[in-house]
Chains A and B, each alone.
Chain A
Amino acid sequence: MNPHASVLKRVSAVRGVRGAMLVSAPDGLVVAEALMDDVDGRAIAALAAALAARLRRAAGSAGLGSPCVIHLRGEAGALLAVPAGEELLLVAVGDRETNLGLARLELLEAARSIR
């Protein structure tokens, strides 16, 4: 069993979360995932990594330091991404009913456990 599976499962257990995954930040590839069937893990990984890289550069330029949490909000749901060390990105996708506060906390906790 993938050592990250239990961590991802816990994030995925939050109400409204459709899936969670661990992404290689530099290349946007999936490291581990716990996703619902209708979620395209490869697309999430690539998009989340690209978005995170761009925001990291912008935040650094603005003197904000390193991003701890990224939150893309759409009208039908949200994507949350939390860096886990330099190389990894923990990502969760949820619908509009997602308890974002809890999902955020679980992601931060999961990132701590992975580092």
Chain B
Amino acid sequence: MNDDVRTLTRQLADDPASLAFLDLAELLRRRGQLDAALTVAANGLGRYGDLADAHALHARILAERGDGDAAFDGWMSALQLDASHQGAHRGLGFLYYRSGDLPRALRHLEFAAQAAPGDGGLRAAIERVRAAAAAPAPAPESSRAALLPTSRATPFSLDEESGNPAEAEVFAGLDGARDGLLLLDQHGLRLGGGIRDEDGADVSDTVAAHLAGISREAARAARLLGLGEWQSVGVECDDGNAHLVAPTAETILLTVRDVSVPAGRLGLIADRAAQAARRWLEGLA
């Protein structure tokens, strides 16, 4: 267990009425321990139901778990308590964007920007949503279009300000964007994202080096075993789960989560991440 988590857990155990639940739930969320984060946030919310931050954090965790409806309710509750809550406006903007309601998305993002005028990531998101809103409306969905990945690339992250918009975009909207996702090339060089070990140390380059050429190895194994084209490699471990997919023929995306995220769900998260990574890579070309 990370020292910070241990310290906050102890602090909360010593004083259950403490606001330490906010820091603990946020820390767990960033580590990808969403179930634990949700439990801590929900307990805190039970005690501090009039705290907008508690509602917003609870909603954020719900959103990352894929429960958009509950997240929407949570962020709305936060706004009822604090009409200018930056996190709630950002979260609602994210949800509205994903649902295709660009005017509402833009409105909430602009509210969020008023509360955080120095947030470059937010400004970039607003610009992208404006650009998307100005683009011609898409043609009615054909059967072919329905088979393609969604064209509504998430233009911004729920995460706080990012110093690297390009990298943030790769992992936009994905759980634990900065930790637990690693995009590398077939030579084992990191392209984006990062992996931290249980002590918080950045082990991205080491992990990437170990995974150099694994795409070719998996492809060869699948072909020789009569499995066709390889699609993914899942690894369930004692202390976490990992999932490998190839966004393109030359890249590998590793997604890592703790054991509370079942292997099947991790596969879905990884597939979404691969779609986002593909779009980013296409943008570089």
A interface residue numbers (CB < 8 A to B):
38-40, 43-44, 47-48, 50-51, 54-55, 57-59, 61-79, 93
Contact = CB atoms under 8 A, between A and B. Distances in A.
Contacts of A57: 210
Contacts, number: 130
A77 B41 CA distance: 41
Interface size class of B (residues with CB under 8 A): 35 or more
B232 interface: yes
Nearest to B258: A64
**Chain A binding surface SS class:** mixed
14 contacts: A40-B224, A47-B221, A55-B235, A58-B211, A61-B203, A62-B242, A63-B199, A68-B237, A69-B235, A69-B236, A70-B235, A73-B231, A74-B227, A78-B227
Interface stretch (B22-30, B67-75, B127-135, B212-220): B212-220
Contacts of B231: 73-75
Contacts of A70: 233-236
Interface string B118-140: 00000000000000000000000
A55 B233 contact: yes
B197 interface: yes
A74 B225 contact: yes
B236 A67 contact: yes
B8 to A, nearest CB: 20
Contacts of A39: 225-226
Contact of B233 (A47, A68, A73, A76): A73
B132 to A, nearest CB: 33
B222 A64 contact: no
B241 interface: yes
B198 interface: yes
A61 B234 contact: no
B227 A65 contact: no
B245 to A, nearest CB: 9
Given A62-B256, A68-B237, A47 B263 contact: no
A85 B178 CA distance: 34
B237 A66 contact: yes
Contacts of A63: 196-199, 203, 239-240
A50 B256 contact: no
B189 interface: no
A40 B223 CA distance: 12
